[in-house]
Structure 1
Amino acid sequence: MLDARLETVLSLIRAPLHADIGSDHAGLPLELVRRGHIERGVIVELNPGPLENARQAVARAGLGGRLDVRSGDGLDPLAPGEVPSVSMTGMGALTMRGILERGAARQVRPDTLVVQPNDNPAPLREWALGAGYHLRAERLASGYWTYPVLRFERADGPDRAYEGLPPDAARRYGPLLLREGSALLRRQVWADVTRLTPLAAPGRPAALELATAHAALAWLDGQSSLDNDSEG
């Protein structure tokens, strides 16, 4: 059984061969195989405990012929061009960005990336804008907090998903999510406004974060007004 966070990640993955980085008990890749989202998978773990957990879970499931468990750091166990699709979940955005940058330096650049950071996803969106990846889908999943799940695909030219949106708000909250304007996103933005307001003294980082949250809220309110006008 996967929680809502990993179910959301799973929904954005379909590939003949897929690698999950930092898989722990291998729950996600096991379900990807069982549900037919992937044909074969690679599981990468750095630490001995999670590595052994993954090996045992794959063995118990009888899927050793379809899931290859490898020891290593980030994308290091993958050869250039070997795996077209990669996922990373449950890490900080800066940690994920570092893994992707080190992989790119070795020419490991998957066609598709599905990432679920545990914090502000802006560093990943910024990386993608400069690394030749376009944002193709993004979701929010409820849990201990609100989790963003992003799907990037390699593509040429500028990513038009960001056109017409306040840049900082789009990087922080997501261009596709802002256009969707879900109740869950609105709650997230309001929670940030409430949290940041008492911290936002002039010159502090919280002041910039608060301005970004207000910009997102203003855009959402503007879109809501347009929708109401069109319905009228």
Structure 2
Amino acid sequence: MKAPTLDARLEAVLELIRADVHADIGSDHAKLPIRLLREGRAERCVVVELNPGPLALARRNAARARLAGRLEVRAGDGFAPLVPGEVDSASLTGMGAGTVAGILRRAGERLPPALVVQPNDSPRPLRVWAREHGYHLTAERLIPGYWPYPVLRLERRDGPDPAYAGLPSAAALRYGPHLLREGDNLLDEQVRADVARLTPLAAPGRTAQTELAAALAALAVLEGRGEGG
């Protein structure tokens, strides 16, 4: 079986993973772990899939890849099929941020020291979770597609996350501290679109007002006028 092709968002996930033992949670087709093993980015991978259809597909693809002893497919929910300390890295992709955060909250001592997550909506809940649970945001990407796909790498480290230093907190949590500092073009488009969308909706006490304030603070950073916060 030749190395499987990944779409742009999963290629971005692939590039942020390097581990001895990696778990792909909710893998669906197992293509990402197969590529990780083929490219030497992981020595061993564990695929976890809950739903019967994707589980069967993952098992078929794993068998065809002929990576016996290095690739294992397990049925189960989230990190439950893993033993604490078994993996040193995990990925969760193609789900809503709330779903991903719920899986991480239930993982307990099974959580590995490194995570790569790709939610299909705003990653803010995952940035908040990371800051509350001792994970630093060490890298992030925004990948064009049906909508902009965020990809985040989180690593367990001591102390406050330096990625947020000197940035307006609400803007950094919503849009991403690394992306704001890099002046990512796709993020710039997203922030300006948010400002245009939220401006006519904003009024004191409304959610749109809070969201607009974060968008305007992000825009100030992108334009080089951010004063920090």
Scaled to the shorter chain, the TM-score interval is over 0.9
Q: Distance between the aligned counterparts of 1:179 and 1:223, measured in 2?
A: 12
1:8-40 alpha-carbon deviations (Å, 9 max, x no partner): 000000001100001101111111111111111
- Which sits farther off after the overlay, 84-93 or 197-206? 197-206
CA-based RMSD of the aligned residues comes to 1.4
Equivalent residues in 2 for 1:131-170, closer than 5 Å: 131-170=133-172
For 1:21-36, what aligned pairs fall within 5 Å after superposition? Answer: 21-36=25-40
- Asked if 1:214 corresponds to 2:216, the answer is yes
Tell me which protein shows more helix as a share of its residues.
Answer: 1
How big is each residue's C-alpha offset from its partner over 1:111-145, in whole Å with a ceiling of 9 and x where there is no partner? 10000111111111111111111111111111111
Identify the match of residue 196 of structure 1 among 177, 195, 198: 198
Superposed counterparts of 1:1-16, under 5 Å: 1-16=5-20
How far the C-alpha of 1:182 sits from its partner, in A, is: 1.7
Q: 2:93 matched to which residue of 1?
A: 89
Question: How many percent of aligned residue pairs carry the same amino acid?
Answer: 67
Cα deviation per residue 1:76-131 (whole Å; 9 max; x = unaligned)? 11111111100000111111111111112xx1120100001111111111111111
1:120 has 2:125 as partner: no
Task: Answer whether contact 2:79 2:103 (CA < 8 A) is retained.
Answer: yes
Counterpart code for 2:209: A
Q: Distance in 2 between matches of 1:124 and 1:61?
A: 32
**Aligned AA for 2:177?**
P
Partner of 1:229 in structure 2? none
In the TM superposition, what is the alpha-carbon distance from 1:193 to its structure 2 partner?
Answer: 2.1
Matches of 1:88 and 1:201, distance apart in 2: 36
Structure 2: 5+ residue runs without aligned partners? none
Instruction: Report the alpha carbon displacement of residue 223 of structure 1 after superposing the two structures with TM.
Output: 5.4
Q: Residue 81 of structure 2 aligns to a residue in which SS?
A: coil
Letter in 1 for 2:141: R
Distance 1:198 1:57 in 2: 50
Give how far 1:201 is off: 4.1
**Residue 65, structure 1, aligned to residue 72, structure 2:** no
The separation in 2 between residues aligned to 1:189 and 1:198, in whole angstroms, is 15
Amino acid at match of 1:39: E
- 1:223–1:61 CA distance, 2 compared to 1 (3 A): farther
CA distance in 1, matches of 2:97, 2:184: 23
Provide the rounded CA distance (Å) in 2 between the counterparts of 1:13 and 1:26. Answer: 15
What is residue 45 of structure 1 aligned with on the other side? Answer: 49
| Structure 1: segments with no counterpart, 5+ residues | 225-232
Q: Give the match for residue 227 of structure 1.
A: none
- Show the counterpart of 2:83: 79
The alpha-carbon deviation at position 184 of structure 1 amounts to 1.5
Residue among 128, 131, 134 paired with 1:129: 131
Task: Out of 59-68 and 91-100, give the one that drifted further.
Answer: 59-68
User: TM-score, normalised to structure 1's length?
Assistant: 0.92
Q: Which amino acid aligns with 1:6?
A: L
